[in-house]
Chains A and B, each alone.
Chain A
Amino acid sequence: MLEVANLTKRFGGLVAVDGVNLSLPEGGISALIGPNGAGKTTLFALITGFHRPDGGSVRFLGRDLTGEKPFRIARAGMVRTFQIVQPFAGQTVRENIAVGAHMHLADRAEALAKAEDVARAVGLSDRLDRDAADLTVAGRKRLEVARALATDPKLLLLDEVMAGLNPSEIRDVIPVIRAIRDRGVTILLIEHVMQAVMELSDQAWVLNQGRLIAAGAPRALASDPAVIEAYLGHGMAERLAKGAAHA
């Protein structure tokens, strides 16, 4: 569905994304993990057109979308959310979601009705007429998802929708994401909350210092020495293994 080939982005001397190749099949949930500053959000921004890549290509459903404008990529069916939530403050939750619904619906009443449906799907029905600026962090994260979902995306890119949530809020969000997948939307998520990655995703990629260092089933990745070193530092995999042997 999504084919990323040799994608590269430099900021001055820093190579934020370094020759990333990945191929995302249709259906299911995949995850992109990695330590802070690994380039995950930059990779999302490159795929969705918010940054222009310095090299490589992005193909979606057979179309070359490299360097296209964000709104065109969204209209092609690939929609992202933002890690730092970006509500239309001063507008209600219903109005916020309706902006997404308007991508395919010209009629205001239809878009508002659709916003209501989507709000139900993500659990925001009781807050439809609230000002988006008044929502809690958990509410705003759901709003991000709702607005993207209202565009009827084929591929949904979720950037840390669980960051900043408490464990019970995370437990509440997991079934919402599953339900979106069950509607037939393919999902790629960036996530630091490992519990969520393990529970949700069918496969995962690990990004470190702009490079993909591992790929596979999330459980297997958790014991991959390269992944452990990326998170905990050089030599840690060996020491952990020794520690386990001693015990």
Chain B
Amino acid sequence: MRTLALLVAIFAALAVLPIGLRSDFWLNAVMLALFSALIGQSWNIAGGYAGQFSFGHALFFGLGGYAVAVLQVHLGINPWLGMAVGGALGAGAGAALGWLTFRYGLRGSYFALVTLAFAEVFRILANSVPFTGAGEGILIPLDPHPAMLQFRALSGYYWLLLGLTFACFLTVWWLERSRLGAQMQAVRDNEDAAAAVGVDAFTVKLKAMALSGLFMGLAGVFYTQRYLYLDPGLAFGPAQSVEALLVAIVGGIGTLFGPLLGAFALHLLAEAAQGVLGDVPGANMVIYGTVLVAMVLFLPRGLTSLRQGGRRRRRRRTKDA
């Protein structure tokens, strides 16, 4: 319960932020970090809790984004409905990709490569079919009304994003004290041992992928509505996949607060670096790479493991479960 209280307190504090914060610059900076936290936590469900390292989470992101854009532009379907479709599509794609790969027993790096390949295939597809706008991308007409999932003020987008992120974190909080979550972690740590005590590893992994895909799809919907534009590179390119896993790994995979911590830490670092280096193109990627290597070498369990050392933290968590 203490964990839940902390989670609610953090999100409540974030919710009142736009009221106190006059500058859109800073609000936007917090939004970027929150967005990373959302995709990081989505990835964390499959990667951190169920141990399925995907390099292609952009697949779900892009499907969600294109769902809301295409339905709106070509069929005139309201983006709120499009958001539901986008989420469902992300979840469905997660389950479908899981079904395909787990059926053939793909694990570890093989699984990672297949996910990467699928995202790339969809990038190429989106580039070639007409209804996605192909290489030119797809532009959503400006119509800044909440009914059209567009907002005049930045704070509208902010609260939308905060709501989605909170839903995602709440889901993970629930996972940590549910049978499904326990089975996911068991499958992650030892699939044979899990099967020996009756865990249906295949189904558990499918559920993890579907949940993960759901929130990644919703993130795609948000992104598209925020910028009212999507093209194949933005949607299915490796940037979102890498950011999602980076944030989770830096923060601490398989932990509730890891992605949040990782997202804010990375964005703070990126801002600071930009202050020092100016707008050197690609500088942030160099920094991300360095950080990732350093994390894996010196703090493989992420920033959250700094607090009291990983083991004692775990002990505490079981007690208040």
A106 close to chain B: CB less than 8 A: yes
| Among A70, A89, A92: residue with most chain B CB under 10 A | A70
Residues 154-181 of B contacting A (Cβ, < 8 Å): 177-179
The answer to whether A74 and B193 touch across the interface, beta carbons within 8 angstroms, is no
How many angstroms from the CA of A217 to the CA of B161 in the assembled complex?
70
Are B314's CB and A71's CB within 8 A? no
Q: Verify B186–A50 contact, CB threshold 8 A.
A: no
**CB within 8 Å for A80 and B318 given contacts A99-B186, A108-B182:** no
Name B190's contact: one of A75, A87, A107 (CB within 8 Å): A87
A129 to B317, CA, bound (A): 10
**From B201, which residue of chain A is reached at the shortest CB distance?**
A71
Complex contacts, B195 vs chain A, CB 8 Å: 50, 69-71, 74
**CA A109 – CA B189 in complex, angstroms?**
21
Inter-subunit contact A88/B321 (CB<8 Å): no
In the complex, A90 has a CB within 8 A of chain B: yes
Smallest distance from the beta carbon of A224 to chain B beta carbons, Å?
Answer: 33
CB distance from A121 to the nearest CB of B (A): 16
**Is the CB–CB distance between B179 and A111 below 8 Å?**
yes
Say yes or no: is A82 at the interface (Cβ < 8 Å to chain B): yes
A111 to B199, CA, bound (A): 14
- Tell me if B194 counts as interface (CB < 8 A to partner A): yes
- Beta-carbon nearest neighbor of B254 in chain A: A90
Establish whether residues B186 and A148, one from each chain, have CB atoms under 8 Å apart when the complex forms.
Answer: no
Whether the pair A88, B185 counts as a contact (CB closer than 8 A) is yes
- B189 to A82, Cβ gap below 8 A? no
Query: How long is the Cα–Cα vector from A131 to B185 in the complex, in angstroms?
Result: 14
Q: Check A74 against B186 for contact (C-beta < 8 Å).
A: no
Interface of B is mostly: helix
B198 touches A74 (CB 8 A): yes
- Given the interface pairs A112-B318, A129-B315, A131-B314, the reply to whether A91 lies near B185 with Cβ below 8 Å is yes
A86 at interface, CB cutoff 8 A = yes
A103 touches B185 (CB 8 A): no
**Chain A residues whose CB sits within 8 angstroms of the CB of B197 once the complex forms:** 74, 79, 99-100, 103, 147-148, 150-151
Q: Hey, what's the 0/1 contact readout for B121-165 against A, CB within 8 Å counting as 1?
A: 000000000000000000000000000000000000000000000
A109 to B177, CA, bound (A): 8
Whether A95 lies near B182 (C-beta < 8 A) is: yes
Q: What residues on B are CB-neighbors of A92 within 8 Å?
A: 314-315, 318
The distance in angstroms between the C-alpha atoms of A134 and B186, with both chains bound, is: 17
Residues of B in contact (CB 8 Å), total: 25
Asked if A48 lies at the interface with its beta carbon under 8 angstroms from chain B, I say: yes
C-alpha spacing A39/B101, complex, angstroms: 32
**Distance of A79 Cα from B198 Cα, bound (Å):** 8
Q: Is B24 an interface residue (CB 8 A)?
A: no
| Category for how many chain A residues contact B | 35 or more
Q: In the complex the two chains form, is B198's CB within 8 Å of A112's CB?
A: no
Distance, CA A129 to CA B320, complexed state (A):
12
Please give the distance in Å from B192's CB to the nearest CB on chain A. 6
Which of B183, B185, B196, B200 makes the CB contact (< 8 A) with A80?
A: B196
A70 to B195, CA, bound (A): 6
Q: Which residues of B contact A103 (CB under 8 A)?
A: 197-199
A111 touches B182 (CB 8 A): yes
Q: Is B103 at the interface (CB under 8 A from chain A)?
A: no
In angstroms, Cα B319 to Cα A94, docked, is 10
On chain A, the residues within 8 Å of B321 by CB distance are 108-109, 112
Bound-state CA distance A82–B194 (Å) is: 12
Q: Find chain A residues with CB under 8 A from B193 CB.
A: 82, 86-88, 147
A102 proximal to B (CB < 8 A): yes
The answer to whether the Cβ of B311 comes within 8 Å of any Cβ in the partner chain is yes
Task: Name, among B193, B198, B199, the residue most crowded by chain A CB atoms within 10 Å (CB to CB).
Answer: B198
Does the CB pair A88–B190 fall under 8 Å?
yes
Q: How far is the CA of A20 from the CA of B161 in the complex (A)?
A: 62
Interchain CA distance A90-B314 in the complex, whole Å:
9
14 additional contacts, CB 8 Å, given A69-B200, A129-B319? Answer: A50-B196, A70-B196, A74-B198, A82-B192, A88-B194, A90-B314, A91-B186, A91-B314, A98-B182, A99-B197, A99-B199, A100-B197, A107-B179, A108-B321
Across the A-B interface, give the 5 residue pairs with the lowest CB-CB distance, nearest first.
A88-B189, A86-B193, A74-B198, A103-B198, A70-B195
Contact sample, A vs B, 19 pairs, CB 8 Å cutoff: A48-B196, A69-B200, A70-B196, A71-B198, A74-B195, A79-B197, A88-B186, A90-B314, A91-B189, A94-B318, A95-B185, A98-B182, A99-B186, A99-B199, A102-B179, A102-B183, A103-B198, A107-B179, A108-B321
